[in-house]
């Protein structure tokens, strides 16, 4: 049994089987972009699994090292990540400044902070059948539609000047 199989078997003992099966399938088969910045509530709705079950599975997967959790301070104007933090404790500023929008925002937990999950870069978890590691570890900033930041102006032209991208769903 591989390390990944052992970790997912351990995860099944603490979390519902539906959520673990879904996470295991994602890690094995999903395209790279689907394995980064995972929103637990969106994932639950998309997969038709209870929110609490998906959140519990992801949090337990973080504890086992299958996923990493990030607390991101988001710009409400451009939807860019102003600050990525490994823990809530590291959100230590009262105000954050977005260099892209040239604007500052007061940090409010309910409006500007999002929790996302990314598959761990551990080789035994992210190895594909081809043996190649996913390219998500290039850590390129992406707009909400998946375009690179340099193409945000194209998205703005297609979707109107009021926002860099209107495909971002309200959270």
Instruction: Read off the pLDDT of residues 18-65 as tens digits, 9 standing for 90 and up.
Output: 999 999 999 888 888 888 889 999 999 999 999 999 999 999 999 999
| Non-local CB neighbours of 155 within 8 Å, separated by 6+ positions | 143, 145, 147, 164, 165
The angle, 0 to 180 degrees and rounded to 10, between the axes of the packed helices 17-29 and 3-14 is: 150
Give the pLDDT confidence score for residue 125 in this predicted structure: 61
Whole-prediction pTM: 0.68
Region 85-91 average pLDDT: 83
Tell me 73's DSSP state.
Answer: E
Give the pLDDT confidence score for residue 127 in this predicted structure: 55
Q: Where are the domains of the chain?
A: 3-139, 140-171
Q: Residue 84: pLDDT above 90?
A: no
């Amino acid at each position: 049994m591989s390390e990944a199989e052992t970790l997912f078997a351990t995860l099944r003992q603490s979390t519902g089987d539906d959520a673990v099966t879904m996470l295991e399938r994602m890690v094995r088969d999903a395209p790279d972009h689907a394995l980064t910045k995972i929103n637990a509530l969106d994932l639950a709705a998309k997969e038709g699994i209870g929110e609490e079950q998906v959140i519990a599975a992801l949090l337990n997967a973080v504890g086992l090292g299958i996923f990493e959790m990030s607390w991101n301070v988001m710009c409400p104007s451009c939807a860019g990540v102003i600050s990525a933090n490994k823990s809530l404790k590291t959100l230590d500023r009262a105000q954050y400044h977005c260099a892209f929008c040239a604007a500052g925002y007061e940090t409010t937990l309910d409006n500007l902070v999002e929790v996302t999950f990314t598959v761990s870069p551990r080789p035994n978890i992210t190895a594909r059948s081809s043996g190649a590691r996913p390219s998500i570890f290039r850590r390129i900033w992406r707009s909400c539609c998946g375009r690179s930041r340099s193409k945000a102006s194209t998205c703005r032209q297609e979707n109107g000047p009021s926002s860099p991208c209107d495909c971002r769903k309200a959270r």
